[in-house]
Amino acid sequence: MKPVLAREGLGAAGRTAQKRLLWCLGLLALLLARPAEADVLCTLFSYCLYEGVAFTIRVVDQNGQPLAGVHALAEWLDRQHATPHMAEDAVSGPDGVLAFPAWGPLRGSPVGLIPGEDPVITLFKPGYVYVPAVRTMNPNAIANTPPPGTEERTRVRRYGDAGQTVTMVPFQGSAEDWVQVLNHAVSFASGIPTEDHLRLRVPYLNRLRRLLAEQDHLPPEYQKPGQFFWSIQREITFLEEGKR
């Protein structure tokens, strides 16, 4: 009987080990799964990965001609704090095309990203303003139509309006009006720059330095402490040095 009990004991231990092995293999399969399947990791274990698909848009002027020299800032925003999870920038060439490369996978918040602001894109070109096809809270922001099925924790973020053509026209207005245009072009992410901005500092610095250059074309009053360009310089210093 003793040999039989020994064999039975080994069999029970073996079955337990086999179950553990199968569980580990199942978890490994989830980790290596296709993006659509990998959302299970986010749901069950709060291990959430996000990635962006490459896309382009095209900018034209009021006559439908390609517009070069347009700076675009794309921000994928975290749903919990409306801070940037990812940011990229691009400058249009003679063909007016803005090309954004793929990114990720990059671990992010289990709360997810904001559909429609994944990314949200703002445009800037001296002397021009964007003409939005759809009115948004920020008149300088290009609205994104998320593909069907996109939710907060969807891993792969696709730009629903990829390939679209948008229009910028010559600015007409006062100095105060132009400062308002500049203010809307700073960043779509809410609040003052954060640690997330530091992690993604290059696209934001590229935008802020372009805005700061506009101070040479505006009255000195906007450069006084507490005014627009003073604030822009503070943000640049924070992103360059990591301190205020």
Same domain as 55, residue 35: no
Domain containing 233 equals: 48-241
Partners of 129 in the β-ladder: 169
The helix or strand, by DSSP H or E, that contains position 89, with its residue range, turns out to be strand 84-91
Same domain as 96, residue 74: yes
Contact 130, 139 (CB under 8 A): yes
Same domain as 195, residue 215: yes
Strand ranges of the sheet holding 55-60, from the earlier edge strand across to the other edge: 97-100, 55-60, 165-170, 128-131
Same domain as 17, residue 102: no
Q: What is the pTM of this model?
A: 0.83
Contact 68, 174 (CB under 8 A): no
SS3 136: coil
Q: What are residue 50's phi and psi, to 5 degrees?
A: -130, 150
Q: H-type helices in 32-95, by residue range?
A: 35-45
Looking at residue 25, what is its pLDDT?
59
Any idea what the Cα angle at residue 191 is, between residues 189 and 193, rounded to 5°? 80
In whole angstroms, what is the distance from residue 60 CA to residue 130 CA?
10
Same domain as 176, residue 212: yes
Same domain as 22, residue 137: no
Same domain as 178, residue 208: yes
Partners of 74 in the β-ladder: 88, 121
The helix or strand, by DSSP H or E, that contains position 173, with its residue range, turns out to be none
Partners of 121 in the β-ladder: 74, 142
Looking at residue 103, what is its pLDDT?
98
Same domain as 111, residue 60: yes
Same domain as 219, residue 195: yes
User: Tens of pLDDT along the chain (244 residues)?
Assistant: 544 444 444 566 667 767 776 665 555 554 454 444 447 788 888 899 999 999 999 999 999 999 999 999 999 999 988 899 999 999 999 999 999 999 999 999 999 999 999 999 999 999 999 988 766 667 788 978 999 999 999 999 999 999 999 999 999 999 999 999 999 999 888 667 888 999 999 999 999 999 999 999 999 999 899 999 999 999 999 999 986 6
In whole angstroms, what is the distance from residue 189 CA to residue 195 CA?
12
Looking at the structure of the chain, the number of domains it has is 2
Contact 142, 124 (CB under 8 A): no
Same domain as 124, residue 41: no
Reported in sequence order, the residue ranges of 53-177 that DSSP labels E, i.e. its strands, are 55-60, 71-77, 84-91, 97-100, 103-108, 120-124, 128-131, 141-142, 156-157, 165-170
For 135, the token pair is 């009115």
Same domain as 107, residue 187: yes
Same domain as 187, residue 118: yes
Looking at residue 194, what is its pLDDT?
87
